[in-house]
Amino acid sequence: MATRTAITQIKKSSVDILHLRCHVRPGASQVREGVTAVNDDTIELCVAAQAHDGKANKAVLEILSEALDIAKSDLQITHGLKTRDKTISVPTACFQHGGARKDVDISLLVREKLLRSEST
């Protein structure tokens, strides 16, 4: 059986895509909002927004955008629009701007950025 990992790099046609597997807790206090844990199998997020009319989904994209220092438009929820378990896709090209080396492991770079943004 294949193991699920929190960050998976996938090659689709000519573009590399990262899949971020997240578990979201909507309705959290604003003090707890943000990345709360980065495990081997999931990225845990708390958002203050309620899971109503896509407000929590929008908050998830805002938190990840800020944590990863990329545009919200580069993030897309590909699975789990109506559940707490979500898969967010992001092109790896977003992390290669600013003269970043191409031989850097993008998955490791993303994991480090998420760990740095973890709420304490």
> To the nearest whole number, what is the mean pLDDT of the chain?
89
Question: Structural domains in the chain?
Answer: 7-117 (3.30.1200)
| Residue 12 pLDDT grade (very low, low, confident, very high; cuts 50, 70, 90) | confident
Average pLDDT, stretch 32-53?
A: 95
The radius of gyration of the chain from alpha carbons, rounded to an integer in Å, stands at: 14
pLDDT at 110 over 60: yes
| Residue 1 pLDDT grade (very low, low, confident, very high; cuts 50, 70, 90) | very low
pLDDT of residue 101: 56
pLDDT of residue 81: 96
pLDDT at 94 over 80: yes
